[in-house]
Amino acid sequence: MAPYGRGYRLGGDEFCVLASTKALPAEAICLRAEEALSETGSGFSIGASWGKVLIPVEVVNASDALRIADRRMYSQKGRRADSASSQTRGVLLRVLHEREPELERHLDGVADLVATFGRQLPLDAEELDVLVRAAELHDIGKIAIPDEILHKGSELSEDEWRLMRKHPLIGQRVLDAAPALGEVAKLVRSTHERWDGEGYPDGLKGRDIPLGSRVILICDAYNAMTEGRPFRAARSNEQALAELRQEAGTQFDPELVKTFAEKVMPALERERYGSPPVNQPAESAAPAK
């Protein structure tokens, strides 16, 4: 730090610098320290977050100065973590789309459905963001599934299904490598659990399954049915909804299926057409109270 000031280790990976801003502005000192770190990474990215406070301009008491600088440092760390998680998400999706190009449309469709569904639920902005990210990445574990299984044009054998069923666990492990995606990873792990406990990988049942995972399961199934598969023709919206209702209480959360039918479907129609369909009464298209 010389000749700009003195540095002290506070503990762990945190340091405090008492700098003379007469020699160099505090922000410039922090940026120089960041630059020095980036040059010592030996091929790896080393980052740093910092917070500054001016004494005695902003505060006089040393403990107050440390507290404010600490809060500002964590605020910056949070913003950078969000940026890093967005970059990680983008890289993972590009890799997956390159391996299975048809999956891009499916994931986009599921994420759009989930976003509409989430707005009908009592979720705050952060919870909705985590839910939509999980929908975008719920199949990310398929990057470890062999191409001959991913691109098979017919139904999978039992051995192939056994391998395919590992992708939620693989997805969780991949996402756990990015700390800011930890909550997303938890939802991804459980997106193939069933309401009756017959799903995978953990055999969770009912409300033991995370809410977000239950939402994604419904939207994933609806999108798959209406898109179709190489070995199965696409179904109409009405047929897909009838299938969801038939499986409510076994594969799907019955209350969420009801919400999907009564609130999400009308919301999708409004987004698509800007008003209720011509042959549907306006009051039936409004969200249920």
pLDDT for 60: 58
Domain-wise residue ranges, the chain? 5-77, 100-285
pLDDT for 12: 67
pLDDT for 147: 85
C-alpha angle with apex 225: 197 to 277, nearest 5 degrees? 115
Q: Using CA atoms, how far apart are residues 50 and 73, in angstroms rounded to an integer? A: 4
Is 167:145 a contact under the CB 8 Å cutoff?
yes
pLDDT for 280: 47
- Confidence (pTM): 0.66
pLDDT for 84: 54
| Of the candidates 277, 245, 239, 282, the residue with the CA atom closest to the CA atom of residue 261 | 245
Percentage of the chain surpassing pLDDT 90? 42
Please state, in angstroms and as integers, the Cα–Cα distance from residue 200 to each residue in 89, 142, 176, 193, 254, following that order.
24, 15, 19, 5, 19
Q: Using CA atoms, how far apart are residues 281 and 10, in angstroms rounded to an integer? A: 66
The CATH class for the domain spanning 100-285 reads mainly alpha
pLDDT for 32: 73
pLDDT for 103: 78
pLDDT for 255: 98
Please report which helix (H) or strand (E) contains residue 11, including its range. strand 5-11
pLDDT for 1: 53
pLDDT in tens, 206-254: 999 999 999 999 999 999 999 866 667 889 999 999 999 999 999 999 9
Other Cβ atoms within 10 Å of 193 Cβ, number: 25
pLDDT for 278: 41
| Cβ partners under 8 Å of residue 111, min gap 6 | 132, 135, 136
pLDDT for 89: 65
Low-confidence stretches of the chain (pLDDT < 50) are 23, 42-44, 277-289
- What is the largest distance, in Å, between two alpha-carbon atoms of the chain? 77
